[in-house]
Structure 1
Amino acid sequence: MAKARRSLDWGFPRWRSYGSSREATNVRICDRHGCDDAGNCPAPKAPNSPDRWYFCQKHAAEYNSKWDYFEGLDKAEAKERAQAEQRDNQGYAESQHYGWAGSGDGSRSADEMRALDMLGLEADADFDMIKKAWRNKAKEVHPDVKPGDAEAAKQFQAYQLAYDVLKQAQDRREWKG
């Protein structure tokens, strides 16, 4: 009779390395023919059916691309439902800016507010004003205008970073929009 070995998997800290377990991990493969990615996005095979396809994220997006939430509703019902959803989800959309931000109306994040301060603009500045201020500030300290000036190069990078933060925020707003 073999002597039982003592397990090293007790208490804290773990005495064996992470990932050294011997159990096999079950990975479901995407149900799309020819795809070998992990299928972790369930999709119904038919309306009101418990059966599911399991797709990778790419094929799940393709599967859902033609799906119409308002199918079968007339225009008035579709408009009413869209407004109700907009109203019910408005709090979630607005709350993303309130996380750890400082003062303001909540329409800009703390990073955007710091970027606006860097460019010397108010919180209500539109993107044309942002672009104009960035160009003016960047022209003053551009490395081609002040070659060899390390402080000017550092300032130029700060202006560039501020512009990038504001540009990405503007792109997100237009995309949601």
Structure 2
Amino acid sequence: MVRARRSNDWGFPRWRGYGASREAANVRLCDRHGCEEPGDCPAPKAPNSPEKWYFCQKHAAEYNSKWDYFAGLEEEEAKQRAKAEANENAGYAESAHYGWAGSGDGSRSQDELRALDVLGLEPDADFDTVKKAWRNRAKEVHPDVKPGDQEAAKQFQAYQVAYDVLRQAEERRVWKG
């Protein structure tokens, strides 16, 4: 009598990896002639067509660099579609600075970003730029320059608070680093 052999998949611990299987995995190759890389980036064969090419990342980038997504559309429709795509992708464009090193890499707090916004500066502005912007804006609305103007006094106060927030954050960075 022949005994049935147990598989390695029973019990705990599992003796074989979870991703391991006995069947060969199908890997789609890049549709570019002569390329042996896996084709995991779909690209449309024609505008508004469900058929797709499957390229490796290098060839997909090459293909997409020459692709006109607005070909065949009227000017007004192309503008509307471009605006809709810009609205959809605004979060990606806004967060693009987090991918790079520097002061705009996500190391600024929400208060610092609001202070930079009050001064009209970009999130990656250095402290010298902050100081220049603060001086220029404060000179325009200083109570000595515009006495009795309540709106100017409020703006001056906002600029002052924004500068204080950014100055204290810069001092913390200097002391840490």
* Superposition TM-score, scaled by structure 2 size: 0.48
* Superposition TM-score, scaled by structure 1 size: 0.48
